[in-house]
Chains A and B, each alone.
Chain A
Amino acid sequence: MIRFEQVGKRYPGGIAALAELTFAVESGEMVILSGHSGAGKSTLLKMIPAIERPTHGAVVVNGQNVSALKRAAVPFLRRNIGMVFQDQKLLHDRSVFDNVMLPLAIAGVAVRDAGRRVRAALDKVGLLEREKAMPVALSGGEQQRLAIARAVVARPSILIADEPTAHLDDDTAGGIAAMFHAFNQVGVTVLVATHHEALFAPFMTRRISLSRGRLLP
């Protein structure tokens, strides 16, 4: 499903963020990406939806070499990948409901269908009662759940998350981890970058460790 082949990323000035990365995530698998801050986890995740492009090697998603994808094809790749960003990237000028609606509006889902799907996604993350609230009125954990609802509402086959439990207390973080596991249980391929790998230990997931831009054996 996701395959990295000898992937390297070098920024102008010669700083190598990633080097010689080769690994694969199978369809329906859940993988934890661990490593200290600055190890290159975010850069690695951003290569899957072609937010970042590798300077060497190939990133293959669903048999498609996304590192060589044309600009015009990138939006269609992204619609099949749910993303939870480190800084969440919620839109603060619109309600919880409208935030989750955005991916469906982009994909051109008919309004009546879309409304039902938004409520289903909000229900899954336990925010159905807050659909009319504005994001600023939500707690940190609720905001994170909102970001997850938005990532899964278009039913992507791949879900990637960058530090989804940062700044959350342990109970809330545990709940978020369980949520990702639940999505994986219904067949979604999940890749989570975190330095709280202990949170995911109960789910017996495979772990990939990064250190200074390289995979640890």
Chain B
Amino acid sequence: MKGWLLHHRQAAEQALRRLAATPLNTLLGALVVGIALALPAGGEMLLANFQRLAQRIAATPQISVFMALDATRKDAAEIESRLRKHARTREVHFVPREDTLKRLKSSDGLGEVIESLPRNPFPDAFVVVPIPEAPEELERMRGEFAEYPKVEHVQLDSAWVRKLDALLRLTRLAVTFLAIVLGIALVAVTFNTIRLQILTQQAEIEVSRLLGATDAYIRRPFFYFGALQGLAGGLVAWGAVLAATLMLRGPVGELASLYGIEFALHILPLADSALLFGLAALLGWAGAWLSLARHLRG
């Protein structure tokens, strides 16, 4: 056990020495890997932010219930009490038709049009905040409310949430695809770097074998080399995404405020950062493994 740990420490030190011996190559390697990884990592950062935004906006689905135009205030009171007693509603707001008219009259452009109307074209309405969030259940509630007497129309404000959800899923797929393609590129880059390493270490490999080194002993530093190069690339990618996040934060916040949304771009979540480093190291290791299997034969 102690000897095994010692061998691993020596292999890691040796890999670090080899990386340090050619700083320019190491830097360029880390940059190539880093830029390749920065694309999916940046995509993931944007996606995580969009998801957070979408969740916040769509957190409270609403059901709008419109009364018929000939419904009396008494009818409306009847519906209001039924809605309030309903087990699956959280909040019920009554919006009288007069208020709707007043509100729209004061709005730009529409005021004159509405002024010219002979009578109030708006019905009494309710805005219902339901307890459940599942689309199927909301759909069922919509159908139920539509059956109430003197109710003309019930509208579910979740259709656009579904569209957004589908869009996010598609984007997630694209980011995953990008990650796979560029992950393969990372493996290929490491494969080639390790091939060159094996060539330059030919003498050491030969002498070590003659002095009783096992295959594992000879391979170990190359595994560490590949994993460390991947990790360095992961750090470059993480730094690039961080820089992009901080640079975009201001403009994105301004854009969001134009839409009346308060929103600050978040940096890559911790779990995603850990995944980035882990995958980068693992893919480097895999590239080294492939290269050793191909180029280091007894």
Contacts and interface: CB of A to CB of B under 8 A. Distances in A.
Interface of A: 49, 51, 71-72, 75-79, 83, 85, 89, 91-93, 102-103, 105-108, 110-111, 150
A75 B214 contact: yes
A108 B3 contact: yes
B124 to A, nearest CB: 86
Contact of A107 (B2, B204, B212, B298): B212
B7 interface: yes
Given A51-B210, A75-B213, A103-B211, 5 more contacts: A75-B212, A85-B210, A89-B207, A106-B208, A108-B7
A151 to B, nearest CB: 9
A49 B211 CA distance: 10
A89 B10 contact: no
B203 interface: yes
B212 A91 contact: no
A110 B211 contact: no
Nearest to A89: B207
B7 A89 contact: no
A173 to B, nearest CB: 24
B254 interface: no
B99 interface: no
Q: Which 9 A-B pairs have the closest CB atoms?
A: A108-B3, A78-B212, A79-B212, A75-B212, A75-B214, A106-B213, A103-B211, A89-B207, A106-B211
Interface of B: 2-4, 6-7, 10, 203-204, 206-215, 217, 298
A107 B217 CA distance: 10
Nearest to A92: B203
22 contacts: A51-B210, A72-B214, A72-B215, A75-B209, A75-B214, A78-B210, A78-B212, A79-B211, A83-B210, A83-B211, A89-B206, A89-B207, A91-B203, A91-B207, A92-B203, A102-B208, A103-B211, A103-B212, A105-B10, A106-B212, A106-B217, A108-B6
B210 A89 contact: yes
Contacts of A110: 2, 6
Contacts of B206: 89
A140 to B, nearest CB: 19
Contacts of B207: 89, 91, 102
A71 B214 contact: no
Nearest to A153: B211
A49 B208 contact: no
Contacts of B209: 75
A150 B207 CA distance: 11
A40 B204 CA distance: 27
